[in-house]
Structure 1
């Protein structure tokens, strides 16, 4: 179905709106999922910070315990270096852990319990180290062996484990949320790209289809313009020919009709002159009547009948001319009836009608049908072919058998040509156009006729939207070519438009 300009505009606006909506949705979804991924990443960072702070604090307490036990076992003060460093950095490390879990409400109790256990542990370590530094190694060992330090360390480890367990859960949840956000972002991007590509493809298809239709319409317009120019040129030529033919027709009619009228007028005057001796004879006295009687009898019996015969002959000629004109006029106004006609059958029927006349000279009629059908007026085609075959027989050469070839061919798309070729007397080159004029004949006039046959044929052919031409060489033969449209209905539609 052709794409209208309104449909094209409406479709493009809808596709553009859908594309903008899809783009806005993609951008908004991407921003939202990016923010969600950033939040998840921040949670991952926080969880890892809790793990790192917990591990550092635990390691620091273990270093302090290691230094304390090394000093107790060796009584070498150099082993107190880890303990001393751990004590110095304990508050800093614990503060880092406290800040890491500050936003985690559920970790607050565990951080407080860890603080109490670590404070007690560090106090227990400080007490044993102080006793050892005073030289009371037995008392310091007794403090270690009573198990209080181990209990405090176990409480610290339990608190560390609770904090790490919740931190691990939060880390895994944050990582899962981050992966989900990344997956959704990826799908939003893919689906959005597909939607945009689909909308772009639909827009491109609409634009290409509309452009192709415009190009096709432009080509059709160019073809129509070319055809229109050709039809205008053909109709202009036809009008010029028709105008020339009307001028020739007017001249011929006035000339040929005037000749009998001049004869009638002349012989009417002569008849008047012929009646004068008769009147003089009737008016004369007896002695003069005898002298005028012979002259009156000659006028009455000879001159008057002769004048009347010339008048009658001129009148018959005028009647024949007028009837010929009326015949052509009626043919031009007759309604045409387009129908499918088989040309080979039409030619065979027309040839059969005159075959006996052609065979009288020992000749014949051959048919060569290279195109077999046409849509035209059958009655007109019968008269055209019949007239041309009659002319070929009428003007045959007396010194050779008559040979006629009736052929059909397609000279170009949409047109059919009918040729009637004979080996008759031929037509002089100067008479090739004259023979189609009304009341005009060429060559020796030894056959009856009024000179209306070919004029009638040309009228019939032009009524069918075609034309007739002649090729002839005097003494060799003649070929008449009738060019007709293959479908008379297209000619009628063209004239009606």
Structure 2
């Protein structure tokens, strides 16, 4: 069974979601690993810098002691240069150590001890050098022989060892943690990459299978459509012939109905003339001697027969209008459309001008919300469309309030939309489509009409390659919305047929 497009879409979406979750997990894991690595890196950097600073401090104290020993042995002040440089740098090294301990109480205690030892050592060195400079060599050497300076250096080395040994252990721990995180990061990247490759491979497999199915379906469709153009042409010709036949039938029926209707109307006139003669004759005779039959005849001539003739005339007049409407619809289908540029602003202003007097008598205002877009279409058809809509809007005003009719237009999605809105009595929702059917009307039938106008409007609008719809609420008003192409384009075949 071929896989449907919706199934393929669901599978592809599931795979994409899985890949997205995998990628999100990799990103989150990578972010966490990067943050942890950064923290470990800062810690390793601090410990390394602390170890270097401790070794530098010990080296500086040793350099100062070496310079002192050389001066005491030779009394040559050249040997004091290493001493002076080392003593000057000790304070900066101690400040660096304080900065690197980062608030650790144990490390801070060791640094404080080193500060004291360094100060005592520098004091011992400075004292011996001062005595030697004063010429008191034996006193200076006596201080050295006490071993105080050696003990201070041994204490400093032990303090530095207390600071460096935990730092080395911590450094080793941090390096192992960094190595483990690097290994974890590598595995996450490998597994995530493999999973994504698996998802992508599955998606490709589904796409390839679906593509094959599409190609098979396309070949089948191609096989079915090899003769599609010919079939469409044949069906179009059949439809055109049927449409022409319907129009001819409507014309013939209307024409054949008109002949007996004319006879009925003619004989009705003759009957009315004969009735007038009978009535005149009865009027000349005295009514005193009439019997019951004569009285009944007088009543029939005076009341019943004129009423019957009135009904006949009303019916024949209505039937005549219906026949004329059917003929108009049948002729409209065969009329050649003549597209031309039309300024809808000027066009509708002219159309509204012919209705302003009638609307004014009914306390109705008609407004055009310009500027309106222009188009290329058939002018006569548009005159009939908007004429019918304006006539209906005025006809079905609500007498309980002043009437208001608004015409507006806009461009939307490649079409031009024109609206005729009114605040009339409105149309029930169930009748929104029925009113466009032939001989169908909505609401109370208290206005003249046969239910043809809106059917005529829809026929014309569809011939103009557009559509007409209505939005309406009873008691509030209606909006008739017409959508038309910017340019009415007639196909060569249709143009040739209409010609």
Same fold (TM over 0.5): no
User: Given the two structures, how large is their TM-score scaled by the length of structure 1?
Assistant: 0.44
Which of the pair has more CA radius of gyration? 1
